[in-house]
Structure 1
């Protein structure tokens, strides 16, 4: 069993935080979804408001300026973030999630002091540079290398689909080590933007999630000091990646659930107002059946995401539960989005209608933080490992 994590924010205080986030999302972000999509960017005033509310550091430790929310509380906020354009959450999601958790959970005291406070303030935007053309959900194919020079490290290689890369101030970078006794192991380094030899490619054009910026990142003999190595130990890298990705999968599960709930609400609203032959389409049994399926998917997803978060928090399951939740909830979100388009009929295929965006946004959820296929492999392998262990 992994080490449990203690809550630092009381239930009453968190209830106020969630209420404020919910109001902000629904009253200020939802009405501007079309603006976000058309401009393919998050408006500056929304970014500033998110920073003022502490959203860039809600899951970072309080001692470094964060709110200190634990994963069970993170999940409740993710339900709210998923209710609007997923690009908004993407702006600060990496700071709180896979990048920030590497530093918070595995960084040295100096690394935490240098980076976490500006990240929590929103003054520093971090990117998680793991994915490569030949190393996506499975990092074993990683080609980026970090060679020990005697005084520091030289990093060379390329990363793909890196969230916030064009905006990032810091790249939490994974590389395969060369030139030390730990030859071939995966380590993680903190590489500031602007370091000589680090370049960011053109902004990617994507199917959906307009406003969420991704791009390739290239490292050409990028020189960093020994203090750039997370924890100061090479062996930490792979363990850090697996730990934060598991936590991230719980978060994505809740995010997907929020999106599914929005798809349901849009479907119910439309079918109550849209008339066919003078009768609301929601009065038709076939439409009601689609609404019922969406409702069931949302309820099941919420229960599973919350259950996985509790298991992660108390350390009882950080393998099967995160992957099972991520698998089910993201697939459910895709199904709920598809049903929402069907409920809307031809209108659901029109760009100005919310469910059209939801349909495209939802598709990425089954790919990042480990594809659905990878989640199945993790679950299956862990089930077999536990069976062999119990029979030994």
Structure 2
């Protein structure tokens, strides 16, 4: 099972090609017309009987005006209009047949007509909002595909499996970012967490990813790649400040794979990786941790790379704090290290599947932050050879 970029639930409900997204949203909440008519007749009969039993001292039929309001929540505009017309006719007919004061009858009829009309207006507003949200979802899916690479992906030096879950269904792209780039200097990987959420955070993340994609191919040194991303975040913050937006920083971990038994790492204020090897989990100790991207002016030292062990058959697991800071209903933090030890002997895609299910069960489906996890392992010999053969050379031909 290949575990890659998990699409949010709303994306899985995307309309079929050629279908208007608003119609698809409205259709999802449609109640069968025959079922609606049956319930409407039953409720009307009950209210009419109660009205007859209570007499003129306590008129019950005007209470039918709540039915268009209820229909506006669950039904289409056409169905809500039918309910509103039916309720208005029943109220008008019952009041005309009554012997009450003229102005009392006029008031009740006017009130029923107004309430019914408001129900139809509310239903139309709901459908319009659903249409707009469906179109925004479609645009967000396209934006996500441009910003975040679908996983898994295999390069000449590493195989990357991943899990990405934004905090909100209708946001799709959160503050967590990642990228994998095959370069002349090996495979470069970044995982990061942009401060904040929403469109401003997406803009900062896009600036960081764009700079990483270019610098990963251009720069021979991983520290220089981090410097290029730093400059991009600073430039974006300068522009944001001029337009009144809040300046943001990015915690990030940059890794460089050359196919050997060591990995180069630059830590920019991010959580260190974990090593999965021989069925055990161990923390990777990083001696050089610098400030987050966008805050280099506050750091006293230049960013530097360091090497960590990456033995054959091992996997590096990198993640954002949406995993470690997940909480259950009592407020207890997710025991990530303890749970990971149970899955250390599994394949990368199985580890991610187990983590995804366990996080969902632990948090009760309520998450406070985005979740991004990458499992980086050496590609099988067959896949490594296939990628090497298909990789384009500098002149655009294949090797």
Please say whether Structure 1 and Structure 2 have the same fold, judged by a TM-score greater than 0.5. Answer: no
Q: TM-score, normalised by structure 2?
A: 0.20
Q: TM-score, normalised by structure 1?
A: 0.20
Larger Rg computed on CA atoms: 2
Q: Greater helix percent: which structure? A: 1
